[in-house]
Amino acid sequence: MAAMAQTDCGQCSYLCRTYAEAIARGEEKSLSRCVPGGKATSRKLRELVAALRPGSAAGAIGIPAAVPATALQPIPPHSPGELFEVRFCEARPLNRRESEKDTRHVVLAADPGEAKYEVGDSLGVAARNSPELVTAVIACLGAPRDAPVLSPDGTERPLEQALSETCEIRRPSDQAIEVLASRALDRNESLVLQAMAEGYPGAGPEDADLLDLLQGFPSARPPPSELISALDPLQPRLYSIASSPKQVGGEIHLTVAAVRYQKRARRRLGVASTFLSDRLVPGEPVRAFVRPARDFRLPPSPDTPIIMIGPGTGIAPFRAFLQERCAVGAPGRNWLVFGNPHRDRDFLFEDELLAYCRDGLLTRLDTAFSRDQDGKIYAQHRLLESAPDLWSWLADGAHLYVCGDAQRMARDVEAGLAYIVGKEGGMEPAAAKAYLARLAAEGRYQKDVY
C-alpha cells in the first residue's frame, strides 16, 4: 500500500488499497497499473513481490485475514467485456484561439439502456495510439504492418493493430526495456538499457517512449512479438462526466484537456486526450465504460447548499451537478469557484455559467483567472476573500466539492480551506484539519482529483 500513489484515482480499476491487496493475494499479476505512481510504484512492487515470492502465502506479506472479500473486487464494470460502444459526435474547442490551452467539449452519443450513469461518475475511454507514432515504431522495427504478434493481453493480432489498440507505447514497461537490452547487439547499448530497466538513476530518460528507445538504441531489434507482448496493456483513461442524463438524454459530455508538448525535438501527444480531441470523425464508435463514483455525489437532499471548487477541467462534474439540480428543480443554493489562466480565452462554459447566474441556479460564481494580473490569483484566494461566507454556508450544512489537478491545486485548496476554517472558526491548525477530516468522513467534503 505504501508503494501506491495514494490518490484512489481508479485508473488501475481498483482503489490503492484493494490493488495492493489483490497483488499481495496473488490475484492480480500486473504490477504496472498505477498510472500516477508510474515506474516508481511498479518497481517497488516488483521488488516486494520478488522478495516475498515464490511460495509466500498472502499472509506472509502481511495481508490481514479480516480483509473482506468484497473489498478485493475491482471497481465494476471494468473488464473489456463490459465496455460498450458510444458514438463520437463532436469535440468543440472551449478555449479561444489565442489560448495556450486546448480544452474540448466532447459529446458522445450512447444507448441510454447500456450507458447508465449518474452525475459524479466518470467515463473510461479505450483510446488508440497516435497512428504517426505507431507507423514510426513499425518502421524502426522493420517488420511488415500485418506481421502476427502476441499482444500484451495474450491475443494474436497484426502488428499495426496490436500497437495501435493494445499496447502502452508512451511508457514502455521495464520488461519491454529488458527485452530490448537482451537483444541489443551493441554491448554498451545493452548495458544502458538494462540499467534503465532496473531504474538506475540517470541511466536514460525516465520519460522515453518506445520510439525514443528504438531510435536511441539502433542495435536493439527484438523479434516484434517478443517486444510487443512485454509492453503493458493500454489502459482506458478516465474522464469526469460533464452532463446529467436528465438533461442530455442519450449523450455523455466530457471536458477534455488535450495533452500536447514538445520533448527531445518531437511533438508528444497524450493518447486518449488527443484521440478524443483530434482523431475521431462524427459517428465513429468509441469503446467506453462508466466508472461509478464512490464518494462524489450530490447531497441526498436537494435543499442542501453545495460549494464546488473546479479550476480547469475540474469544472466537468460541476456542470453535471448544475444540470442535474436544474433538471430536478433542486432549491438548494449552488456556489461555483472556477479558475483558469485568462478570462478572455479560458472561461470554459462562460455563456452557460452566466446564464445559470441570471436564472438564479448559480447563487454565486467566483472566478480566479490566474494570469490576468501580475501575481497569480487562484481559487483558494477567492475563497479567502469570502471566508465569512464560506464559513456561514458550512454552518448551514453545505457540502464542499473539489475537482481537478491533484498535484498542486487540490493540495493547495485544501490548505486554503483549513486556513479559512481555522480563521473563521477560531481553531488551531490541527483542529481545523480535523474539522475538514470530519466533514470528509460525513460525506460533506468530497474530492475527484487526478
Ligand X SMILES: Cc1cc2nc3c(=O)[nH]c(=O)nc-3n(C[C@H](O)[C@H](O)[C@H](O)COP(=O)(O)OP(=O)(O)OC[C@H]3O[C@@H](n4cnc5c(N)ncnc54)[C@H](O)[C@@H]3O)c2cc1C
Instruction: Provide the binding-site residues for ligand NAP, judged by CB under 6 A.
Output: 101, 103, 257, 259-261, 311-314, 339-341, 370-371, 376, 378-380, 404-405, 407-409, 412-413
By CB under 6 A, what part of segment 313-342 binds ligand X? Answer: 313, 316
The residues, any chain, with a CB within 8 Å of residue 291's CB and separated by 6 or more, are 10, 75, 78, 121, 122, 123, 124, 238
Give the angle subtended at the CA of 209 by the CAs of 207 and 214, to the nearest 5°.
130
Amino acid at 307: I
306-335: b (≥16 Cβ within 10 Å) or e: bbbbbbbbbbbbbbbbbbbbbeeebebbbb
In degrees and rounded to multiples of 5, residue 435 shows phi and psi of -60, -45
> Residues 3, 64: contact at Cβ < 8 Å?
no
Looking only at the bridges linking them, the beta strands covering 122-126 and 148-150 are unpaired
Q: Taking CB within 5 to 8 Å according to partner kind, which of ligand NAP, ligand X, none is near residue 152?
A: none
- 45 versus 234: smaller Cβ distance to ligand X: 234
Is 34 a binding residue for ligand X by CB under 6 A? The answer is no
Residue from 9, 31, 61, 286 in contact with ligand X (CB under 6 A): 9
- 164 versus 273: smaller Cβ distance to ligand NAP: 273
Is 290 a binding residue for ligand X by CB under 6 A? The answer is no
Question: Smallest gap, in angstroms, from Cβ of residue 100 to ligand NAP?
Answer: 9
C-alpha cell belonging to residue 149 = 504478434
Binding mask 201-220 for ligand X (x = CB under 6 A): --------------------
Is 402 a binding residue for ligand X by CB under 6 A? The answer is no
Q: Taking CB within 5 to 8 Å according to partner kind, which of ligand NAP, ligand X, none is near residue 412?
A: ligand NAP
Is 288 a binding residue for ligand X by CB under 6 A? The answer is no
The residues, any chain, with a CB within 8 Å of residue 201's CB and separated by 6 or more, are none
Closest-CA residue to 399 (of 325, 324, 322, 301): 301
Looking only at the bridges linking them, the beta strands covering 285-291 and 122-126 are antiparallel
- 316 versus 418: smaller Cβ distance to ligand X: 316
Binding mask 344-373 for ligand X (x = CB under 6 A): ------------------------------
Burial of 405 (0-12, 13-18, 19+ CB in 10 A): middle
Question: Smallest gap, in angstroms, from Cβ of residue 310 to ligand NAP?
Answer: 9
Question: Smallest gap, in angstroms, from Cβ of residue 396 to ligand X?
Answer: 29
C-alpha cell belonging to residue 11 = 485508473
Question: Smallest gap, in angstroms, from Cβ of residue 108 to ligand X?
Answer: 13
Question: Smallest gap, in angstroms, from Cβ of residue 331 to ligand X?
Answer: 28
Give the angle subtended at the CA of 328 by the CAs of 323 and 332, to the nearest 5°.
85
| Window contacting ligand X (CB under 6 A); options: 4-12, 61-69, 177-185, 370-378 | 4-12
Cα distance between residue 147 and residue 149, in whole Å: 6
Binding mask 245-274 for ligand X (x = CB under 6 A): ----------xxx-x-x-x------xxxx-
Question: Smallest gap, in angstroms, from Cβ of residue 261 to ligand X?
Answer: 4
- Provide the sign of the torsion angle of the four alpha carbons 195, 200, 205, 210, taken in this order: positive
Is 237 a binding residue for ligand X by CB under 6 A? The answer is yes
Question: Smallest gap, in angstroms, from Cβ of residue 107 to ligand X?
Answer: 14
Burial of 162 (0-12, 13-18, 19+ CB in 10 A): buried
Q: What does DSSP assign to residue 145?
A: T
- 224 versus 311: smaller Cβ distance to ligand NAP: 311
Q: Taking CB within 5 to 8 Å according to partner kind, which of ligand X, ligand NAP, none is near residue 238?
A: ligand X
Looking only at the bridges linking them, the beta strands covering 251-257 and 260-263 are unpaired
Q: Taking CB within 5 to 8 Å according to partner kind, which of ligand X, ligand NAP, none is near residue 370?
A: ligand NAP
Question: Smallest gap, in angstroms, from Cβ of residue 81 to ligand X?
Answer: 22
- Write out the residues near ligand X by the rule CB under 6 A: 9-11, 122, 170, 237-240, 255-257, 259, 261, 263, 270-273, 313, 316, 448, 450
